[in-house]
Structure formats: structure tokens, C-alpha cells
Amino acid sequence: MWEYTDRVKDHFVNPRNVGEIENPDGVGEVGSLACGDALRLTFKLDDKKRIKDVKFKTFGCASAIASSSALTEIVKGKTLEEAEKVSNQDIANYLGGLPEEKMHCSVMGKEALEAAIANYRGEKVTQEEFEIICKCFGVTDREIERAIRENNLKTVEQVTYYTKAGGGCAGCHPKIEALIEKVRKEMGKEVPVAKPEKKKLTNIQKIKLIEETLGREVIPALKADGGDLELIDVQGDKVYVALRGKCSFCPSSEFTLKQYAESKLREFVGEDIEVEEVRP
């Protein structure tokens, strides 16, 4: 279950600076509805070139709304040079912390601000010069490398928490591992070694472990957001589940399945587990 701080809850229930500024000096948009999170940020400067007003519109979870709200409060009154120094960790710290699984919301805020400042300066932000590493979520090598460097990330799972990359089909995991190794070597940090193999389970042990893991690691978190998940069947390494409640029509249900269900089952049950949704 997500442990949200009182400050996160407050900014979620009473978000500050919601909306859009007319004739803004800068506009930044990041994310996409298809990926479950999107954020549009607009700002206006005063005659001293400080951010006089800043507003946001977002589509996303409680953390995305709270992070966007916090960002607008942090940057109000700052010059653009001061504002661009605000990191995703500053946003999380302002909120008293975010669950690690939700850190991509703070990263999205930072990226929207950068896009809005680039827009003000007339700079073109083009993704073409960067390689798309995660095709499921359209995340580039630049975004992943930066998240690793700025947040001292060590594992693919953490990269997914901070950028969403790797949270779908898992096809990009080898490339993400290679980026972790490259960036951590550049930083002079230790490179994590591969996890030891899990012992072989009988079918009954495996099904029990899957049930336990879903019940302990996955379902409480989904229930906290108004959703649920039901285990339907297990065949070899394929785990068939049905999403219930809000999860059943959530645009990021694929992310939920892969990120929360599959990654937890791979961590606690077996590396080859694949989760598939059974639809009515």
C-alpha cells in the first residue's frame, strides 16, 4: 500500500495553481494519456524576469497531482535560472517524500518545467538525437541516464520507478542494465551484480507463492487506488489475472500489470514469470 505523507495528501486534495495561464511566456508538455500520465505547465514572468504565475493541468494519479502542485509552489518567485536548478528530489522532498514506485511523477514535473523554459527561450527540444530505449513508454537513453545519475539508481526496477522505462514488455531491460553499468562507472560508483538464481519450485509451491506475493505486494496497493486484481490461472510461467474496480478501465492498466504484478512476481517467484490479463 502507498504510504503517502500528509503533505502529498494535502496537495492532492487541494492542489495549488491548477489551470492554464492566458498568453503564457512559456509552455511545457510532457507524458501522454496513453502512458497514464500527462502534464501541461504554463508560466508568466514579471518585469524582473521572475516567475510571477505558474499553473498546471495534469492527468495522473495522486502523486502526479501532488508533484505538479508542489512544483508550482516551489518555482513561484524564482528566476528561470533558479527554477531550472530544482530537481525531482527537491519536489519529492517538498512533499515530505514520495513512495519510490511513484518517483516518476516528480521526474515528470521537472521535465515539464524544463520544456516550458526551453519554449520561453525559443529552444527546440528534439528527441530525435536520442535513442528510444523503452518503446512501450517512449523513454530515451538521455532520460534514463539522467535519472540514474541524479538519483543514484542501481537497478532496472528503480529506473522503472523513476522513468517508467522497463515497466511494459521488459524487452528493454538489457539496454537499461547496460546504461546503469555505463553511468555508474562514469560516476565512480559500484556496479550492482546480478541477483542469485531462485530455487526451483513445485507447481503447488509456485501457485501458493504467487497468491501470497499478489496478496502482500500488489493487491493492497491497487485497493488503495480503488482497484483490485484477481488471480485466474497459472500455467507454467504464465500467470493469468483479471483487473477489477478502477484498474479495469484505467488507461495505464498495462503498466499496472507489468510494473506492479509482473515485476513483483519476478522478484519473489521467478525471473521468467509473465503476467497476462484475462478480459471478460
105 carries an active-site annotation? yes
Give 45 or 132: the residue with its C-beta nearer to ligand FES.
132
Q: Binding residue for ligand FES (CB under 6 A) from 70, 86, 112, 134?
A: 134
Q: Is the Cβ–Cβ distance between 163 and 147 less than 8 Å? A: yes
Enumerate residues 248-277 that contact ligand FES by CB under 6 A.
Answer: none
171 near ligand FES, rule: CB under 6 A: yes
Cα–Cα dist 262/265, whole Å: 5
* Span near ligand FES by CB under 6 A; candidates 26-34, 69-77, 166-174, 215-223: 166-174
Q: How far is the CB of 226 from ligand FES (least distance, A)?
A: 25
Q: Round to whole Å and give the CA distance between 220 and 232.
A: 18
- Residue 200 CB-half CA count within 13 A: 2
Q: Is 169 a catalytic residue?
A: no
- Please state, as a whole number, how many other Cβ atoms lie within 10 Å of the Cβ of residue 52: 15
Name the 3-class secondary structure at 143: helix
Rounded Cα–Cα distance for residues 233 and 6 (Å): 39
Our finding on whether 132 is near ligand FES (CB under 6 A) is no
Q: Nearer to ligand FES by C-beta: 15 or 168?
A: 168
Q: How far is the CB of 65 from ligand FES (least distance, A)?
A: 25
Q: How far is the C-alpha of 163 from the C-alpha of 99, rounded, in Å? A: 14
Asked if 169 is part of the footprint of ligand FES (rule: CB under 6 A), the reply reads yes
Q: Is the CB of 132 or the CB of 207 nearer to ligand FES?
A: 132
Gap between the Cα atoms of 116 and 28, Å rounded: 4
Give DSSP secondary structure letters for 105-134: HHHHHHHHHHHHHHHHTT----STTS-EEE
Q: Using the rule CB under 6 A, which residue among 168, 231, 250, 269 binds ligand FES? A: 168
| Shortest distance (Å) from residue 19 CB to ligand FES | 34
Q: Does 174 help bind ligand FES (rule: CB under 6 A)?
A: no
| Number of amino acids touching ligand FES (CB under 6 A) | 11
Residues binding ligand FES (CB under 6 A): 134-136, 165-172
